[in-house]
């Protein structure tokens, strides 16, 4: 399955919807989107990975790169993910300590107090 | 004893094909369904690393993957023909996450770290002519007969 990307902004939070496989072939598209969002002043990103079928270390690198960029602007990049097979790769690499990972978009928004 | 060999040019699009082939053969060999995601990810990581290395050093050379059942184990070997500078961080111990921020986006060594976290049997062999990554998982039955 190819990679489908979409995004919307709610209040100051930009929600990036990702669907499909994030690997060495498709990850550059996600990287370009994250860079473009940051360049346009979106510094609080929430990447919804609930429809991601596959994620490898290339995809992790893109997410870490995005995190680095938003942090340079005192921003945030957090994730929505409940799939065990995706969470496993975050655990193996220790990245669960780096990213805020939420069970749903609403939970993430609530954590930020942005749904008020 | 069945062996499947596959060679592919160093294009990122082919990594998905290699993943699909490896997963299909792992299933046929009798690897438990619960392990197939690990096989898919580990093979993808090994092939991605090889593709990236070939694209830098020898884009015209093919990457080789061998898949076999061997005494009740499903074994995958990915062989490339490129230098192996990216292996040093992984072989010397993976860096803590905080240290990654200086080397984004490539994160050298992360793929190997993922492989070693997924396969219970991994052998990374850097050599003068490239790198060989061999990994294996238990199959449900010996002699390559799929479990039914």
How confident is the model at residue B105, as a pLDDT?
Answer: 45
Which of A24, A60, A98 is nearest residue B12 as measured by Cβ atoms? A24
CB A76 within 8 Å of CB A14: no
> Inter-chain contact A94–B97, Cβ cutoff 8 Å?
yes
For residue B23, count other CB atoms closer than 10 A to its CB: 18
Confidence label for B89 from pLDDT (cuts 50, 70 and 90)? low
For residue B59, what is the domain's CATH number?
3.30.565.10
How confident is the model at residue B148, as a pLDDT?
Answer: 43
pLDDT, tens digit (0-9, with 9 covering 90-100), for B100-123: 443 334 466 788 889 998 888 999
A113 in any annotated domain: no
Domain with B82 in it:
3-138
Buried b (16+ CB within 10 A) or exposed e, A67-76: bbbbeeeebb
How confident is the model at residue B46, as a pLDDT?
Answer: 96
A114 in any annotated domain: no
User: Nearest C-alpha of chain B: how many angstroms from A41?
Assistant: 21
For the residues A75-88, what does the mean pLDDT come to?
96
A86 in B contact zone (CB under 8 Å): no
CA dihedral B110, B116, B118, B119 (to 10 degrees): 150
Domain with A74 in it:
4-105
Considering only alpha carbons, which residue of chain A is nearest residue B118?
Answer: A92
């Amino acid at each position: 399955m190819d990679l489908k990307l979409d995004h919307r902004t709610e209040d100051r939070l930009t929600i990036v919807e990702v669907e499909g496989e994030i690997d060495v072939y498709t990850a550059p598209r996600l990287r370009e989107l994250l860079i473009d969002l940051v360049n346009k002043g979106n510094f609080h990103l929430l990447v919804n990975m609930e429809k991601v079928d596959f994620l490898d270390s290339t995809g992790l690198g893109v997410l870490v790169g995005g995190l680095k960029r938003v942090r340079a602007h005192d921003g945030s990049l957090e994730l929505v993910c409940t799939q065990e097979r995706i969470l496993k790769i975050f655990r193996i690499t220790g990245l669960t300590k780096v990213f805020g990972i939420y069970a749903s978009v609403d939970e993430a928004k609530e954590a930020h107090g942005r749904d008020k | 004893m069945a062996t499947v060999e596959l060679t592919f040019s160093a294009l990122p699009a082919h990594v998905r094909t290699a993943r699909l082939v490896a997963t299909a053969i792992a299933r046929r060999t009798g690897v438990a369904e619960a392990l197939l995601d690990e096989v898919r990810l580990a093979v993808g990581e090994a092939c991605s690393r090889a593709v990236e290395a070939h694209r830098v050093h020898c884009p015209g050379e093919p990457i080789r993957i061998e898949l076999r059942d061997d005494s009740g184990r499903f074994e995958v070997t990915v062989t490339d023909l490129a230098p192996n500078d990216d292996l040093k961080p992984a072989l010397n111990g993976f860096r803590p996450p905080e240290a990654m921020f200086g080397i984004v986006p490539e994160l050298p060594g992360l793929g190997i770290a993922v492989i070693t976290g997924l396969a219970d049997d991994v052998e990374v062999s850097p050599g003068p002519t490239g790198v060989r990554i061999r990994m294996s998982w238990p199959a449900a039955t010996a002699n390559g007969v799929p479990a039914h």
